[in-house]
Amino acid sequence: MQENFGFTTSLAPYSASDISLAAPEPLYFRRERVDAHTGYAPHRHRWGQLNRISLGLIEITVGDEKLIAPADYIVWVPAELVHAAYIKQALDYTSAYVSDEWAQHLPKATTLIAQTPLIRALFDDFAQRKISSTADANEQPQAQLLLQRLCQSEQRPNYLPSSSHRQLTIILQTLHDNPGDSTPLAQWAAQVHTSERTLARQFQKELGMSFVQWRNRLRLLSALAQLKDGVAIQDIAWRLGYGHPSAFIAMFRQHTGLSPERYRRQMQGGTNFAGLLA
């Protein structure tokens, strides 16, 4: 089923589940088990929203831009920003609304926030104790610590950034055309007439990550598409430049939290388009 997330108005409806809620003090959690291939129509929230998934990937669309995030990142969506979402595999989903006071310390645009071990532990503790509102005085210190750590954690505008830098553009476009290209950085440097050290610095400066990190992310996105098309895992590994499937499986598990085969099994569930709002 192909969903059409058209953004026809800046006044998209509020999430139906938001209307009856009191303002977060400073957090309010909603948790649910989401089926594979679940889509959420364009909507907005009264408060800033932290989106956390247990595994796999989440896609959030704002206007013409699609932000793809793996489970090791939380997606921050500011209040009143119209967005749609799509989740490809069954997973546990947590939405945390943030008070206006704390939202002022978070980015003004949709952003990926890295989950540190402490951030994970604080989220998991709230979940295990089935805490929804942190208005209780006993929950305030933990909620404030979580928000402090989120404000201080690594933040990225997108999972797979691009660059208009002349030398990088050549490399990025070539890899987009062939994610399995295993040309090492030193050889790329020679092709674009610079040193390996200078090129490595350009990747960090322009993209905020190393050459290998960027290529692994590109390969992951390519792998997800091939898994959906039914390509054998061994063939995907070879197409993406891995000498042995185990290396590909390790990369995939690192980024998504599950094996390629488990991911594929979860994708084989029926499509569930949620006209209900996230």
Residue with tokens 């997606």: 75
For the segment 37-71, what is each residue's pLDDT rounded down to a tens digit?
A: 899 999 999 999 999 998 777 889 898 777 888 88
95, 126: one domain: yes
Q: Which of 159, 175, 210 is the last residue of a domain?
A: 159
CATH code for the domain of 103: 2.60.120.280
Q: Is the Cα dihedral 134, 140, 142, 145 positive or negative? A: positive
Assess whether 91 and 150 both reside in one domain.
yes
Structural domain span for residue 92: 16-159
Q: Which of 10-19, 25-34, 132-141, 170-179 is the least confident region?
A: 10-19
Residues 117, 187 share a domain: no
Residue 170 maps to which CATH number?
Answer: 1.10.10.60
Query: Does one domain contain both 23 and 80?
Result: yes
E-strand spans in the chain? Answer: 27-34, 38-43, 48-53, 57-62, 65-70, 73-77, 83-87, 91-98, 111-114, 155-156, 272-274
Mean pLDDT of the chain: 87
Give how far Cα 140 sits from Cα of 50, 106, 137, Å. 17, 18, 5
Are residues 28 and 148 both part of a single domain? Answer: yes
Does 65 fall in a domain?
yes
What gap in Å lies between CA 189 and CA 114, rounded to an integer? 30
pLDDT band with cut points at 50, 70 and 90 for residue 157: confident
Tokens of 275: 């006209």
Q: CB 198: neighbour CB atoms within 10 A?
A: 11
Residue 278 inside a domain? The answer is no
In a domain, 70, yes or no: yes
Q: Tens digits of per-residue pLDDT, 112-145?
A: 999 999 999 999 999 999 999 999 999 999 999 9
**pLDDT of 232 higher than 70:** yes
| Residue 103 pLDDT | 97
Residue 95 has pLDDT above 60, yes or no: yes
Confirm whether 9 is domain-assigned: no
Minimal CA–CA distance to 76: which of 97, 57, 46?
97
> What is the pLDDT at residue 267?
66
Lowest model confidence (mean pLDDT) among 123-132, 146-155, 217-226: 217-226
What is the average pLDDT across 249-265?
87
Pair 25, 154 in one domain:
yes
Domain final position from 108, 125, 159: 159
| Three-state DSSP state, 22 | coil
In this prediction, residues 224-250 reach a mean pLDDT of 91
What's the number of domains the chain is made of? 2
Q: What is the pLDDT of residues 67-94, one digit of tens each?
A: 888 888 999 999 999 999 988 777 889 9
HEC-encoded secondary structure of 106-133? CCCCCEEEECCHHHHHHHHHHHHCCCCE
Look at residue 249 and tell me whether its pLDDT is greater than 80.
yes
Work out the number of other CB atoms within 10 angstroms of the CB of residue 9: 9
